[in-house]
Each structure stands twice: as C-alpha cells, then as structure tokens.
Structure 1
C-alpha cells in the first residue's frame, strides 16, 4: 500500500527491482489484487527496464516495456467480489534487462486514498546464452588476416580480436565466418558483438546472420536462409562516447522459430569509409536455455576450491559446452536465483568457511563440491609479485585487485605495473608491496620493446595475471630486462609467467643473471591456456630440447649488491614475440626437494614418504588436504643419508585426498 497514489491526481507509486538471476527477458506481467477496497486497485500501470549499473526510482535510463492505461477493474473481472485474484498481461518477448521499474500512475477509484496490490510477478526467462564454444568447427571467409588475429578469435570467449583485410571502406568484399556449434541444432534468437581494442572505423556497420541445415555448407556454397540482417548498426563511438572499447551491442529477433545446424555471420560494410579492414573482438549467437540434452551436455570447466582473504567473497566459475540451464548449490541445496555461469559467495568468515558449493547442469550432472578456503598470507613465504597490465589488444590493460589471490606460490597484494592506466614497454616502480601487504623498499625496472595483451581473459586472478605482457628482446645480445634493486641479503627464488598471444608459438630464452641459470621454453599461447587453465612448468636447460609450458622457476638466487636481474629474448623474427606476463620474487626458497615415493598401507592407514636428502640435512614435514592450509607433522626431522623416509601414522579414513610438503631447514 502506498498513500502517494490517490484518486486521479496523486503521485505515481511502485518499486524498482533487480532480479537475483541476472539479466532476464520478460514476456508478461501478473498482478494480484489485495484483500479489500477495489477502488485502490491499479488502473494505469507502466513497466520499464534498465541495464544501468545502479538505477533508482528517480534516476536512470529506463525503457518502457509495457504500458496499460486502462487495466480492467478487478470488480468487473471477478464480479462475485472475491479478492486476491490475478490478472495476467502478455506482451511477447522483450529485450533483456537487469532492473525493472513497476509504476502505478492511477488507481481505479477517483476517491481512493491510496494504491494497493497483493503481488506483482514478472513473467519470462533468463537471458539467452551463447551456443558457440571455442573449438567449434569454423570456416573463415578468407585467410586475409594477421597470424594472431584470425577468425577463431571471434568465438574464443576472450577479448582477442578477429581482423580481416577484405572488408575495406565501402567497396570491400564481405568477411566473416561459418560456424557449426558442437551442441547440434539450435534456435538462435539473438546476437551480440563486442568491439575490438582500437580503430572504431573498422567496426561492423552492415551485418547478416544466416542459417543452414545442409550437411556441409561452406562460406561460398550451401542453402543459406537469412535469420537477421542489420544495415545500419549504431556506431560504437556513438553508444560509448567516452571511447571505451571492448563494448558489446545486443540484437534480438525473437520471431525466429527455426533451428539450424550451421550459421554464417557476414560483415558487408564497416563503419569508416577509409577503414583498411574489419575487426571484431567477440560474436555470440544466443538461444534460450530450456532443458539439457544429457547425451551432449558436459562441463568444460568445473568450479575449484578457491583461496580468499578473510572477509572477502569468493567467486566460483563453470563453463559448459552448450546453452544448458545451470543451478548452483550450497551444502547440497539449490541457491535461489543462482543460475549463471559464475557464483559469488557472501564474505567468507570462520563460521561459513566450511560451506560447500557445486553446480548442476539441470537434470544431468552435478560438479564435485568445493569450498572457499581462507588464505592466510603468512602461510606462504614472503614474496613480491608483479603483474604487467599490458595494453594494445586482447583485453589489456588487465589489473589485479589487492585481495586477489593467485600464482603458483599463492599470494595477494600483487603490484600492477604500472599502477594506473595502460601498460608501458619500459618503466620503473619503487617501494613494491610484498605479500604481507608491507612496503618492501625494493624497486623494479623493466626495459622491453613493446607491451600487449595475451587474451587469457579476466574471469579469475590467474587469468588476469597472465593477460598483460611485455615482449622479449630480439637476441641474447639485446634482451629485455627486469631488474630488482635494494633486495635484502638472502636466498631467493624467481617464478616467471609467460603466455603468448593467440596462434603464436614463440621460443623464449630466460637467463637469471646472478645465479647464471638459463631455461629454454616454447611458450604456451592463450588458446592453449584457455582450453585447459592451469600452470605448467618448464625446466629444460637444453636449447635444442625445449619444454612447452607457461612458467619457469629459478632457485638459489643470491642478490649481487642488492640486485636481481632477469634477461629474456626470442629469435627476433617478429612472427612470434616472447613474453613475460607476471613474476614473483620469493624469499627464503632453496632448490625444491623431490619426493621420490609415497606409499599407503590400506590396513593401518600409515603413509610412508621418501625423498632425496642431504646427509646432514634436517626437514620440516607438513600435511594438507587443500594445498592451502598446512599442518606441521615435524619441525626438525633428521636426514638418514641421501634418502630419507618418514611415516605418517594412522591417517584418518575419511580423508579423500592428502598432500605432503617437505622443506629443508
């Protein structure tokens, strides 16, 4: 009840609501009368939608979805006088919105002293989802693209870009691609397009989407039927006048009732008459998610246990191979409204840290339960982490937040280089923050030829750390360098993270100067990382026998007059540039010990650990169930020659997994 809307001269009343399920598509509205006083029932209602970040009752960009100036009187529709009766109004599928404003402008009775309603329901469904996935069968319109900016980038779910030189100005050839979604036949009712990193004149102006059910249609042949065509796409520079790129426009065509196996997306003209090419960061083909085909539905990425600082929220992610409906669960119970591909928890405390989270492909498969694990910064050695934010393309610049926890040696409080704005090829930053959130007094200077983005995305801390980059030098004689100064005396390890741009496979040589160590790597690129996220170490010291991965490690580094330096370079042919994306300088690490065997006695549940040891060494032995929190089993266990054995007696039978860590004192 609201006393603002009185008779025919009152003020509007109503509410703004943000559905917890996220963006939705409405097709109807239901209103239930209250218990008495039919003169207070709504007569004139308006329903509006907004995709602003935080609109309110008085402010925001609101679009009218439905308006009815003459709602039938409940007393007419239900003449027996029954109350708590519902009227439903259908208006067909509308564009998706995040927020809704329901307004009553007039009530039924001229003498009414207020507006009242028992219940308002918005009828619809969650926003359509993308039917394509990285790796779907794809045919480019031509090969007239740079090596790292080919057609698959348009469907990789990352801010990389597809560029094609065929579509120039107003007289060029069409460009685009044919895609066959692996999920099979789909009914596409929407399309999104995300602008690339620069050059708005290259954005699409005229596009066409077609479908085919031929066995093997191609770009140039097949029976293609037009699903949607738009000859006057609003310039991105008009919709986003501040110049921001990687912005998305959405287009819906809910009247398409036909399903197809294959789709052809074509750009017929770009925005600028003088543009030298067409480019796009991402294209999504959208279909409503109704029910999953359990013979096809599968997880591509499942949620994992996630470290989080005390008092911060954890975010879990999943990815599935089609437009399947999802439902997140906490402690085995569905979470109302949690039906998106990610779920953010309440702030994690000691009281709720034991909660378990899982996600279900509805009606098919449930992921294994995982937890948000409270990360204690002092559980890891003190380290300095630097993140090159990058720039230019592929989603860069990409910064990490102070509370983000990531890296092989887990830490928060990473240093973004530079701290603000886009990345730079060379720079200096003093008084770096360490992993305890303390000023370290250490300075870093980096000198390279260029900065860019790899395209690993921003969905979690590790993806962000690997996205920005600086490029390697052209030869051993002209390397790129990263130099730390004012480093306190001690022994250090260095972890160097290196992921290349899509479709590039550079060879990179790393040299840790003070310890005279070299490691030779073939860099994993963003395509490989995105298909299987995770850290993969390369240890090769033979340039003729390189390993492939995304990080290297140097141990036993002793600063030279407070200086620690990394040099890195590639073959210098320009076709594939080597990179450094992030780096950790870690105090107190010595050469990592190798556990040579772990054996379990099923009867006694005794676990026997054996490792290569130094004859005079003493060792700290720890156990963990999650690789984050470690229990100390012995703080000074003596070596027994060059091979030492320790028995962990009677490990609890309810432990499904257990990890061990051995460290030399």
Structure 2
C-alpha cells in the first residue's frame, strides 16, 4: 500500500476484471473507417436527431444520401398504404444502462421504410448487414417477422425471389426459398437489444449474434450460389403485417412490435476481422456516434490518506442507485463495509476507515445494492 493520497487503482477488483475482459475483444472499427467506407451503402443511426417522426424519414449517415422514407401507397394486387414508424426508446440491454433512441415499428400498423438502389440499381452477390434491434414479439409466424433486409414482397405485392430478409425464427428468407431455419446454434433473443450481423458471398452465408458484448457465430452454410435480385433495402413489415399481402398466395399476417436502433449495410462481404471490429464499435456506440456506451460500474480511483487512517474510493455510478462497499485481504473472504451508499451522480466517492492494524494489503469491490 502506498501513502500520500496517490492513485492506487490496482487495488480495485472491478478494475482488474475490466482489464481482463477487454483483452478478449476486437479492436473497434468505425462504420465509416477508410478501410471499409467505399462499400458503405447505408447507415441509419442516432434516431433522436436523424429520424423525422413527422415525415417518417430516417436520414442516411453513409454520405450517399440514401435516406429511408415510407413506401406509401401500393396497389398491385390490392390497395395498401404503408406509413412511417415512430420515434421511441428501447432498453439498452447489456450495451447501455440507459434507454436508447429507436425507430419503432408497431403491431397493428402497416409501417415500412424503403431505400432504393443502394448498389446503383444492380443486385448483390456480396453483402454485409449489421442491425442493432429489439424484437418484442414476432407475431404468430416468426419467419414472417423480418425487420430489415434486401427486397420486400409486401412493398411490391409480388414475389420475384432472391431477396435477403433477416427472419426472426431465425433464418435468411429469400422468398424463393430460405436458409438456416432450425440450424442456428442459438435461439433468437426476443425482447433483448442485440447486434445481428449477416454476411453473404456468392458461396456462403454467415451470421453472428451479440447480446452481451461478445460476438458469437450462430450460423454458417457454404456451397450454394447466393445473390439478390434487387438492391432495394427495407425496414419494417417486409413480408407480412396487419393483413396478408394482396396478390401473393400463401402469406399470413405478422403483427410484430420491434425497435430498430441502428442499421449498417455494406455492398461487399467484410472479413471476419472487420465484422468483429464493427461489432466492437457498435457495442460501444449502440445508438450511433452521438451515444457512447455506459462504462458500467468501475472503480476509477483509490487513494490513502497520509496518516493511513482513511481509504477513499471513487467509482462510476448512476443517478438514483444505492451501492454496497466490501473489502478483503485475500479476494476470497469479503467483509461488508457499508450497504447504503447513495449515488452522487455519474461518479460517487466514499471514505473507508482504515486500513486496520494487520491489514497489509486490501482489495475493494463495489456492488449495486438490492
């Protein structure tokens, strides 16, 4: 133990854990990093500032001017008018202690956004999609709940095939077939804000889920020829909504509630390393560049008074929370010092009397009280 009120951050058990945790993560790769920016097709983020709730338009951050707007009236097999979604908030899950601004697509409303020609009007043979979203319910048939994807049967009231919709069963829905249903290694995380990453090449499809800051590959298939017949991108009721799609047989309804927080689409297949890097960036900026991840509960400073009678702790905190402080000499046996330390805002400090005689070294931990 060092004297003189100097920073003794190494004492903080939470600090040790935070350091070990970070070692296993990829290096952040921003969506518009020069290494991948040339293939950035669309980027929707920061809904609080970039989504116009009156017009239903979500401004594109890719620099390509590919704003998302409501599909509006369609009358091929029958009249349907697709409205814009609404501005909302959704739980930050494992990525933020605060709610995140989101664009909400509601059950009972035909709501669908469209972005045309993200690849110059040509279909895609390489594609990478990242979406941060939360599906509250996926309707009666989860395969019909497809919050984002390339191509939409509902929007054109025709099934031309070779779409690429992210189904919530989970699967990739092509509408002239499907890929992956029943073959994912993890269940779809309903009512959870998570990052879904999907990559298509001419010979393979890979998918990853990330619900807790750790990227997990959940599906891969190789050997077939994968392409899309369109480069129009959609968000909302891509395949089914309040009523069956007019003029298309075999469709049901899918009254689904879901919040889209952020969407990024590349017209190329990113490498595994790049997928991991963008995931790390999204985990730390779940709502976009205007929002940084809440660092969580971390001891940021420990100091000891010159007379060795007081140890001062400071940690990152949240308004309205109550904390407990424990101490230990061996990291195995813990003694509670105080279980009712009120938060002082984003940072809270607390003085512990001691060290006591015989305590050659001390470790501290801070917990949110029940």
Fold match, TM over 0.5?
A: no
Decide which structure has greater helix share: 2
Q: Whose relative contact order is higher, 1 or 2, with alpha carbons under 8 Å and at least 6 apart?
A: 2
TM-score of the pair, normalised by structure 1: 0.15
Question: TM-score, normalization: structure 2?
Answer: 0.24
